[in-house]
Amino acid sequence: MLAGAAAALFVPATAAALGGTSAAAAATAPLSRSLATPEGTTHRITMYVEDLGGGQFGYGLAPGQATIPGPVLEMYEGDTMEITLVNTTQSTVSIHPHGVLYTTDSDGAPMNDSFNQPGETRTYTWRTTGEKSLGRWARPGTAGYWHYHDHAMGTVHGSGGIAAGLYGGLVVRRRGDILPDRQFTMVFNGMLINNKLAPNTPMFEANHGETVEFICIGHGDMFHTFHLHAHRWANTRTGYLEGPRDSSQIIDNRDLNGGDSFGFQVIAGEDVGPGAWMYHCHVQFHSDAGMAGIFLVRNADGSMPDGAQEAIDRFHGHEGGH
């Protein structure tokens, strides 16, 4: 959804929100992006860090709208993002990005004196670049599925802030990349998914045939793997093959460890049909302990497919939903 400055590109968080958008509403909300932003656009936005209660904290684009995960921030290569971070809490916080360019003033780390004291407002600037040709070779640009997180709460590494929910997705696209119909963020954080356990993990919803983008982020101290039932993607930057001769690995399971992130797009229910499909950590005792959720592919008209509600009920009822 369009928020902040006129040219900024944003998508709402699609997880169960604490003090923000409900999981059901967010999971079915259509995306809206401005496609007319010129190259080199500077996106100026304000983000708020809020105490959500119960030891949980979140980032939001307006007061009272903080969520876990925080909003997805998007740019094209060559763009700049200026984030004015408002700390409304009594804790020391910051915002630290992966994958993009920044000076030490915008590092988000206390080591560089780059953080927000309680009640303080501070601006962080992130830049992006395209790939640079070196003749036979090329240096990579900043396009990718990245993430941002706190680097100051609890410890100088932000361990307390990450555990509390201060994280979100950061997408840098190349112009011409396919834009999805639906976009979902899932964060494996310790033994939780978006700081929740089954059966309270988010249920992501799409209609059969829609293009769905998953942003997958890892945090914490544990080894994880992400598995999505019945859907496959290429192990590339976008999840797509670059033509029929591309021999990239096709996968439906990938490691998702602390600090890692990746993304991909699939066609909901392609070649398998609508239904309630599971996603989960494939480390067995993790999934048994509640690291699982549902990707609900509705019929093309948005109606519930046969057997899907029964599957959802079984997920919610069987040993706590996992």
Cβ neighbours for 4, distance < 8 A, ≥ 6 positions apart: 10, 43, 44, 45, 46, 61
The verdict on residue 4 lying in a domain is no
Helix (H, G, I), strand (E, B) or coil at 161: helix
The verdict on residue 156 lying in a domain is yes
Q: 259 falls in which pLDDT band (50, 70, 90)?
A: very high
Query: Which residues face 171 on adjacent strands?
Result: 74, 145
Interval 209-235: pLDDT, tens: 999 999 999 999 999 999 999 999 999
Last residue of a domain, one of 113, 146, 173: 173
Question: Both 194 and 152 in a single domain?
Answer: no
Question: Both 142 and 72 in a single domain?
Answer: yes
The vertex-262 CA angle with 126 and 67, nearest 5°, equals 65
CB count in 10 Å sphere of residue 34: 12
Question: Both 111 and 189 in a single domain?
Answer: no
Question: Both 140 and 283 in a single domain?
Answer: no
Rounded distance between C-alpha atoms, residue 203 and residue 222, angstroms: 23
Residue 33 pLDDT: 52
Asked if pLDDT for residue 18 goes beyond 50, the answer is no
Span of 9-13, 105-109, 119-123 with lowest mean pLDDT: 9-13
Residue pair 199/214 in contact (Cβ under 8 Å)? The answer is: no
Cβ neighbours for 78, distance < 8 A, ≥ 6 positions apart: 39, 40, 128, 129, 130
Asked if pLDDT for residue 300 goes beyond 80, the answer is yes
The verdict on residue 191 lying in a domain is yes
The verdict on residue 18 lying in a domain is yes
Omega prior to 199 cis, within 30 of 0:
yes
Q: 29 falls in which pLDDT band (50, 70, 90)?
A: very low
Asked if pLDDT for residue 24 goes beyond 60, the answer is no
Question: Both 159 and 191 in a single domain?
Answer: no
Residue 71 pLDDT: 97
Q: Which helix (H) or strand (E) holds 72?
A: strand 70-76
Residue 236 pLDDT: 96
Last residue of a domain, one of 105, 138, 173: 173
Averaged pLDDT score across all residues of the chain: 89
Q: 102 falls in which pLDDT band (50, 70, 90)?
A: very high
Q: How far is CA 39 from the centre of its chain?
A: 24
Q: Which helix (H) or strand (E) holds 58?
A: strand 56-60
Asked if pLDDT for residue 23 goes beyond 50, the answer is no
What residues make up the domain containing 36? 9-173
Last residue of a domain, one of 132, 148, 173: 173
Question: Both 101 and 192 in a single domain?
Answer: no
How many residues can be counted in the chain? 322
The verdict on residue 3 lying in a domain is no
Question: Both 13 and 144 in a single domain?
Answer: yes
Asked if pLDDT for residue 321 goes beyond 60, the answer is no
Question: Both 190 and 136 in a single domain?
Answer: no
Residue pair 249/157 in contact (Cβ under 8 Å)? The answer is: no
Question: Both 15 and 99 in a single domain?
Answer: yes
Asked if pLDDT for residue 26 goes beyond 50, the answer is no
Residue 28 pLDDT: 32
Interval 112-160: pLDDT, tens: 999 999 999 999 999 999 988 787 887 889 999 999 999 999 999 999 9
Q: 322 falls in which pLDDT band (50, 70, 90)?
A: low
Query: Which residues face 83 on adjacent strands?
Result: 45, 124
Number of domain units in the chain = 2
Percent of the chain scored above 70 by pLDDT? Answer: 87
Question: Both 70 and 156 in a single domain?
Answer: yes
38 secondary structure, DSSP code: P
Span of 2-16, 86-100, 219-233, 249-263 with lowest mean pLDDT: 2-16
Question: Both 187 and 138 in a single domain?
Answer: no
The verdict on residue 2 lying in a domain is no
Rounded distance between C-alpha atoms, residue 239 and residue 251, angstroms: 9
Query: Which residues face 204 on adjacent strands?
Result: 295
Which stretches of the chain are DSSP H helices?
23-28, 159-164, 284-288, 308-317
Asked if pLDDT for residue 206 goes beyond 90, the answer is yes
CATH no. for residue 217?
Answer: 2.60.40.420
Question: Both 281 and 312 in a single domain?
Answer: yes
Residue 177 pLDDT: 95
